[in-house]
Amino acid sequence: MNLVMDSSALIALLRGEPGGELIPPFVDEPSNECYIHAINLCEVYYGFRRETGDQNALRVLEAIRAMPIIVREDMDTDFWLSAGCYKADLRRVSLADCFCMVLANRLDAELVTADRQEFGPAAEQRLCRVRFVR
């Protein structure tokens, strides 16, 4: 199964927050292919950098890179136009989360997130398949 990780899912794992314990089984399952968009990885980086400084944020990135998660940098015209459509229609969803949804659809993947507030509307409207970890 293809899975796209939202930044909130990885942050929950790295901080030991509720739902984070559900991430390793997804990532470690050999039949799963796990992905994250570079923009969502940037969210993880800047969150940790703000809270704990650059050196720790870089260590967090190293820990993520050691996981079997493929970083995608898709940014072709169709991709960013789709993200822009989601942002225009959903309004309160962050642009980074729109990129996550577009990547999930592009890969026919399930989006894994700990953020019900951001992805609840997308799930309700069936804009992509979403699995909430909390």
Domain edges within the chain: 2-132
Identify the CA nearest to 104 among candidates 29, 44, 36, 41: 36
Q: What pLDDT does 128 receive?
A: 96
Predicted TM-score of the model (pTM): 0.95
CB atoms within 10 A of CB 116: 14
With 90 as the cut, is the pLDDT of residue 2 above it? yes
Of 95, 84, 93, 96, nearest in space to 117 by CA: 93
Which whole-number Å values give the CA distances from 48 to 29, 37, 78, 98, in the listed order? Answer: 27, 17, 31, 21
pLDDT in tens, 76-119: 999 999 999 999 999 889 999 999 999 999 999 999 999 999 99
Q: Would the pLDDT of 20 be above 90?
A: yes
Quick one: 2-132 is in which CATH superfamily?
5'-nuclease (3.40.50.1010)
Q: Give yes or no for a contact between 87 and 122, defined as CB atoms under 8 angstroms apart.
A: no
